[in-house]
Structure formats: C-alpha cells, structure tokens
C-alpha cells in the first residue's frame, strides 16, 4: 500500500450504525481528498459505562463502506483477538492507540498477532510524554516483520494543560520524526485539540513542520456522536479545513532554494556555535560558584536568586519578542545543568 503526501485519514471516532458509517464514508469520498477511511470499533474508555464501541458487528459496515466508495479502511486494535477479527474482515490498515502504546505488554501481544502478516500499521504516541515507549512500540512492531509502518502524533497528557485536550509537545514529536525520517509521520489534530475551533491552526502548524498528513475525525452529525463529539466535524467542514491549509513546498532541491536557505543556515550554525561556547563558559562560572559554596557550607539552590534571574529574563525577553514559555523551558534546563555542575564540585 503506497502512502502519497499529503496523506489524509478521516472518519468517525466510533462506528455507531451502518447508516452512519456508510454515509460518512460517502460524503468524505465526495471531497476527493481522503486516502483512508477510519472508524473506531473497539473504544478503550477511561471509565466503565461510557460507550466502548460497537464491537465486531461494525466490521462488516466498514467492508460495505469500502465496497461503495473504494476507500481503504482502518481500525484501532489493542489485543490479539482484535487483530485477528480485523484481518478476517479485510481491514487495510491497523493502528495502535495511545492507551495501548503506553503498555509494552499490550504492544507485544499485538505484535505477536502480526507475525507473518503483511499489513500497514500506524503507531500513535503513548498518552504520557515518554519517547522511549513510542520507540519501543515501533521496535516491537518492526521485529514482528511489519515493513510498512507510520507514526501518529496525537498529543500527550500533561498536568496543568488547559488549552488542549492533549498537549502537542511538538519537541517530542519532532525528535521522533528526526530519529525516523523515512517513516510516514501523521498529525492527529482531533485528539490534540479536543474541540473544533483549534483544528485549523494545529493542522496548519503540523504541515508547516513537514508532517506527511493528517488524521481528523469526521461525523455526519458531530453533536450527536456517541464519543468525542466536541472534536469531530462534518465531511464538508473537513473539506473546508483542508482547502484553507497552506501546503508548503517540500522541494528544496533547486539551486534557488539551496542558495537562499544556505546563507540563513550558515548564520544559524555560527550562532549555535556561539551559544554552545557561551553555555560552556557559564558552566565554568557555575563550577567556581559551586566551589565557593562548598568552602563556605552554602546550599546549592538559592531560590530568591533564581527568581530574580527569571524576572529579568522574562522582562527582557518580552521586549525582544521571546515567549515566556520558551524562556522558562530554556533557562530551567540551563539552571538544572548548572546545579549538576555545582553538585559534582560539592560532592567531589
């Protein structure tokens, strides 16, 4: 199965009725923009009593939708039995969800069921921000002999996050993409946003970051959906969203692009070199401070001093157009490295 960029996956969060599945597939197919039709058959929910999917009886609905529209079909699987049922119903693509990726035992069960099977598999990031779990899931599926693997970024659970359903944590996704440049990399704005009004901006950002495509949930009557109603949109709204995306040029092989980008990249390289030199100098001063604190029995952490530094940094950063969030993350990392250097001196 070939994946052509941009690769667009859409369909309802859950298959609810045969009519709903087929109508959604037909209206999505009418846009001419969908590469893969998805629908949840088994829905792992946080608490019992919520709609947990229609189960096996929904698989023939997907087969019928494929027959009518010609769209390949995909479902999420979390157990060996679900893999077997999906394969028996000619599902074209499987994906491993975030709640499964977080559990190596579950991933291994799915991987074992995939031994000897030739089918594309997408792997969503785990719920918690742990890159090693995501990498581990990829390795387990690869060892099962699956050749055609894609990755889906759907955001991470984060304490204090209020803007998104699942915080994007773009830096983690970018690092995963950097380590696996040859794999199809898809963004799932629906689960990142959790609400319709943010879908366009998150989808655009992912395309700007060179993602290969999008997975966006679509339902013929989103407000009546049995699961994740707030984040689903109609096929027609999805068509509008895709039409409004600025699809960036991925080809930078021409001399024009190379010449113009190269001068900026050289500037970045020089500045990065200077940053590293300055940081190294800062750590040497931190070590001298560590020696002074050791000689005089002073604690490493000086909270008031650090608060003063941050206040000055935030004030200056605002004047220079640097966000408080960026400066906080950057200087927290610098501070921790400084503490580590002082701690080595203190405990020599």
Q: Is 78 exposed, middle or buried (0-12, 13-18, 19+ CB in 10 A)?
A: buried
Judge whether 1 lies within some domain.
no
Judge whether 250 lies within some domain.
no
* pLDDT confidence of residue 136: 98
Tens of pLDDT, residue by residue over 225-240, are 999 999 999 999 999 9
Q: Which pTM value belongs to this model?
A: 0.81
Average pLDDT value for residue range 114-125 = 96
Distance spanning both ends of the chain, measured CA to CA: 58
Beta partners for residue 178, in sequence order: none
- The whole-angstrom separation of Cα 205 and Cα 223 is 26
Is the distance from CB of 342 to CB of 289 less than 8 angstroms? yes
| Ramachandran category for residue 53: left, alpha or beta (phi over 0 → left; psi -120 to 50 → alpha) | left
* pLDDT confidence of residue 253: 63
Q: How confident is the model at residue 250 (pLDDT cuts 50, 70, 90)?
A: low
Same domain, 171 and 297: no
* pLDDT confidence of residue 125: 98
Domain residue limits at 206: 7-244
Same domain, 230 and 296: no
Q: How confident is the model at residue 145 (pLDDT cuts 50, 70, 90)?
A: very high
* pLDDT confidence of residue 46: 64
Mean pLDDT of the residues in the chain: 92
Same domain, 77 and 213: yes
Query: Does 259 score more than 90 pLDDT?
Result: no
Judge whether 164 lies within some domain.
yes
Same domain, 188 and 333: no
Average pLDDT value for residue range 202-228 = 95
Judge whether 2 lies within some domain.
no
The domain that holds 315 is classified in CATH as 1.20.59.10
Tens of pLDDT, residue by residue over 328-338, are 989 999 999 99
* pLDDT confidence of residue 258: 67
Same domain, 162 and 278: no
Average pLDDT value for residue range 340-347 = 89
The domain that holds 172 is classified in CATH as 3.20.20.70
Same domain, 156 and 269: no
Q: Going by DSSP bridges, is the β-strand pair 73-76/7-11 parallel, antiparallel, or unpaired?
A: unpaired
Same domain, 50 and 173: yes
Contacts 24+ apart (CB under 8 A), 136-140: 136/104, 136/107, 137/96, 137/101, 137/104, 137/107, 138/180, 138/183, 140/104, 140/107, 140/108, 140/111
- The whole-angstrom separation of Cα 97 and Cα 99 is 6
Q: What 8-state DSSP symbol labels residue 235?
A: H
* pLDDT confidence of residue 45: 67
Same domain, 129 and 238: yes
Query: Does 249 score more than 80 pLDDT?
Result: no
Higher-scoring residue by pLDDT: 260, 188:
188
Q: How confident is the model at residue 267 (pLDDT cuts 50, 70, 90)?
A: confident
Omega cis (within 30) before 147: no
Average pLDDT value for residue range 177-204 = 96
Higher-scoring residue by pLDDT: 161, 175:
175
- The whole-angstrom separation of Cα 211 and Cα 185 is 6
Judge whether 108 lies within some domain.
yes
Same domain, 292 and 148: no
Tens of pLDDT, residue by residue over 30-86, are 999 999 999 999 977 666 777 878 999 999 999 999 999 999 999 999 999 999 999
Q: What is the 3-state secondary structure (H, E, C) of 310-339?
A: HHHHHHHHHHCCCCHHHHHHHHHHHHHHHH
Helix 80-88 to helix 104-113 angle, to the nearest 10 degrees?
Answer: 30
Same domain, 207 and 277: no
Grouping H, G, I as helix, E, B as strand and the rest as coil, residue 293 is helix
* pLDDT confidence of residue 347: 86
Q: Which residue has the tokens 């029995």?
A: 297
Same domain, 142 and 40: yes
Instruction: Give the CA dihedral 305, 307, 311, 313, nearest 10 degrees.
Output: 70
Q: What is the 3-state secondary structure (H, E, C) of 245-257?
A: CCCCCCCCCCHHH
* Number of compact structural domains in the chain: 2
User: Residue 323, Cα to own-chain centre: how many angstroms?
Assistant: 22
Query: Does 252 score more than 70 pLDDT?
Result: no
Q: How confident is the model at residue 263 (pLDDT cuts 50, 70, 90)?
A: confident
Is the distance from CB of 228 to CB of 190 less than 8 angstroms? yes
Judge whether 207 lies within some domain.
yes
- The whole-angstrom separation of Cα 326 and Cα 167 is 15
Judge whether 205 lies within some domain.
yes
Same domain, 276 and 238: no
The token duo for 208 is 């700007």
Query: Does 88 score more than 70 pLDDT?
Result: yes
- The whole-angstrom separation of Cα 180 and Cα 134 is 12
Query: Does 101 score more than 90 pLDDT?
Result: yes
Judge whether 203 lies within some domain.
yes
């Amino acid at each position: 199965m070939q994946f052509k960029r941009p690769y667009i996956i859409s369909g309802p969060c859950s298959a609810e009725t045969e009519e709903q599945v087929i109508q959604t597939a037909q209206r999505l197919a009418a846009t001419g923009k969908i590469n893969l039709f998805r629908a949840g058959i088994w829905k792992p929910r946080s608490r019992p009593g919520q709609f947990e999917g229609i189960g096996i009886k929904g698989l023939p609905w997907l087969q019928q939708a494929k027959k009518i529209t010609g769209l390949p079909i995909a479902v999420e699987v979390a157990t060996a039995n679900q893999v077997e049922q999906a394969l028996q119903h000619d599902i074209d693509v499987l994906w491993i969800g975030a709640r499964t990726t977080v559990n190596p035992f579950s991933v291994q069960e799915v991987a074992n069921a995939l031994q000897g099977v030739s089918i594309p598999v997408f792997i969503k990031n785990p719920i918690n921000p742990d890159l090693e779990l995501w990498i581990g899931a990829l390795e387990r599926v690869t060892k099962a002999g699956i050749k055609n693997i894609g990755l889906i970024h759907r955001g991470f659970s984060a304490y204090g996050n209020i803007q998104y359903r699942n915080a994007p944590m773009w830096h983690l996704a970018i690092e995963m993409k950097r380590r696996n440049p040859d794999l199809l990399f898809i963004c799932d704005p629906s689960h990142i946003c959790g609400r319709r009004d943010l879908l366009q901006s998150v989808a655009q950002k992912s395309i700007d970051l060179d993602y290969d495509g999008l997975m966006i949930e679509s339902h013929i009557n989103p407000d009546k959906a049995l699961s994740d109603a707030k984040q689903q949109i109609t096929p027609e709204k999805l068509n509008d969203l895709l039409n409004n995306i600025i699809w960036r040029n991925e080809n930078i092989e021409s001399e024009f692009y190379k010449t113009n980008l190269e001068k900026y990249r050289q500037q970045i390289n020089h500045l990065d070199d200077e940053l590293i030199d300055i940081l190294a100098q800062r750590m040497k001063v931190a070590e001298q401070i560590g020696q002074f604190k050791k000689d005089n029995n002073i604690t490493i952490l000086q909270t008031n001093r650090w608060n003063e530094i941050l206040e000055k940094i935030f004030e200056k950063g605002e004047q220079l157009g640097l966000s408080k969030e960026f400066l906080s993350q950057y200087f927290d990392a610098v501070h921790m490295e400084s503490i580590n250097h002082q701690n080595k001196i203190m405990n020599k």
